[in-house]
Amino acid sequence: MAAERLALGGVSVTIFDHMPSPARKLLMAGVGGLNLTHNEPLETFLSRYGEARRALEPAITAFPPAALREWCDGLGQPTFVGSSGRVFPKAMKASPLLRAWLRRLDGLGVQLRLRHRWLGWEGDALVFDPAVEPQAGAVVLAMGGASWPRLGSDGAWSGGMAPSLLAPFLPANCGFIAPWSPYMLRHAGTPLKRITLSFAGRTVPGDATLTDAGIEGGPVYALSAAMRDTIASDGVATAMLDLRPDLSLEDLRQRLAVPRRAQSLSTFLRKAGGLSPVSVALLRECAGTPENVAAAIKALPVRLTGTTGLARAISTAGGLRLGALHGLAERGVFAAGEMLDWEAPTGGYLLQAAFSTGYAAGESALAWLQGNPATSPD
């Protein structure tokens, strides 16, 4: 995105990427339909970035969700708003958008040099493997976070930066470890449909999935920052599952007040309580044989003892500190995307911030070059 802004401004641009092909993570995001952004009011949208909102707001208001949708239109990839307000390309994948975009960049004269890894600086000179010495009038860094490293963003760029510029990488939108018993492991891979998960005063509806390691899925990702930080400080986070959020406690109590007769408890809970087999297993796992079964179904404590790690997380928190950007800009170095120290939930907020900060970095680099006529862009 930065390359496009610069090239449109008449600057000669070269993109270096250490992978054999570009935008592998964007393509992977396309496997899930490519949730580009969200259609909610801008004020609500901005609130999703938490502490990083102040730093990101200028970039997102300069290139907001509506502008991103127009940009997609311009590439022949119209978008639509899904029932949840999430925005997707009609093609529901990234490859046509990427192909059209690469064609546009090529038409603007942007050079793409693959299999070149940025290692850092020697003085003011950029260091690459294999060695090349581009005479760059301005530099935009956009090397992503550190999750799903096989897609290219492995976080190794942090080795080329002064440690004082960096906040530690942490998994965001990640799964969690719950030390399941062997009995529970039989249900690994099974979805927990239409539950709510609550933590630290927030309740999120959706589907979760039990895994060998613990639990993952939309509601888990949405609460992941708070749960991760609590585990870091207290060693454990206890989230509350409501296995029947569609029923009040009183309704559930009445349903379970009918005589059980010869049925096993599992069969009874499945029939009278409407619980799936995995929900029954989870109830037994997390609550044993509770005195008040209805209350346990409505608020089942799940002990989480760790995240399932950065490599499997959807995104990365930490990275280049937002406060470091000013000092870098004074040297003609700009940065964008997930390599910056911000985090946001899934829902299109990750790609929108990556696009918007890329747009802003391109505009800033252009202004810097124009204000420095002695430096020839190359």
Ligand X SMILES: Cc1cc2nc3c(=O)[nH]c(=O)nc-3n(C[C@H](O)[C@H](O)[C@H](O)COP(=O)(O)OP(=O)(O)OC[C@H]3O[C@@H](n4cnc5c(N)ncnc54)[C@H](O)[C@@H]3O)c2cc1C
Residues making contact with ligand X (CB under 6 A): 16-19, 22-23, 25-26, 28-29, 32, 34-35, 117-118, 142-144, 147-148, 152-153, 156-157, 314-315, 337-339, 348, 350-351, 354
Q: What is the DSSP letter of 163?
A: G
Q: Which is nearer to ligand X, 45 or 157 (CB)?
A: 157
Q: Which is nearer to ligand X, 213 or 314 (CB)?
A: 314
State how far the Cα of 242 lies from the Cα of 205, in Å rounded to an integer. 9
Report CA dihedral (64, 66, 67, 68) to the nearest 10 degrees.
90
SS (H, E, C) 32-59: CCCCCEECCCHHHHHHCCHHHHHHHHHH
> What is the nearest approach in angstroms of ligand X to the Cβ of residue 259?
49
Q: Which is nearer to ligand X, 287 or 329 (CB)?
A: 329
> What is the nearest approach in angstroms of ligand X to the Cβ of residue 169?
13
Sorted by sequence, the CB contacts under 8 Å of residue 93 that are 6+ apart come out as 30, 31, 33, 34
Q: Which is nearer to ligand X, 144 or 332 (CB)?
A: 144
Q: Which is nearer to ligand X, 26 or 167 (CB)?
A: 26
> What is the nearest approach in angstroms of ligand X to the Cβ of residue 367?
21
Q: Which is nearer to ligand X, 172 or 296 (CB)?
A: 172
Report the side by side order of strands in the sheet with 237-242. Answer: 300-304, 237-242, 191-199, 202-210, 214-217, 176-177, 306-307
Q: Which two tokens stand for residue 348?
A: 């299109």
Q: Residue 37: phi, psi to the nearest 5?
A: -165, -165
State how far the Cα of 288 lies from the Cα of 376, in Å rounded to an integer. 71
Q: Which two tokens stand for residue 36?
A: 């580009």
Q: Which is nearer to ligand X, 137 or 337 (CB)?
A: 337
How many residues are listed for the chain in this entry?
A: 378
> What is the nearest approach in angstroms of ligand X to the Cβ of residue 363?
16
Q: Which two tokens stand for residue 210?
A: 């039990």
- Token look-up 């020839």 returns 376
> What is the nearest approach in angstroms of ligand X to the Cβ of residue 231?
22
Cβ atoms of 80 and 88 within 8 Å: the answer is yes
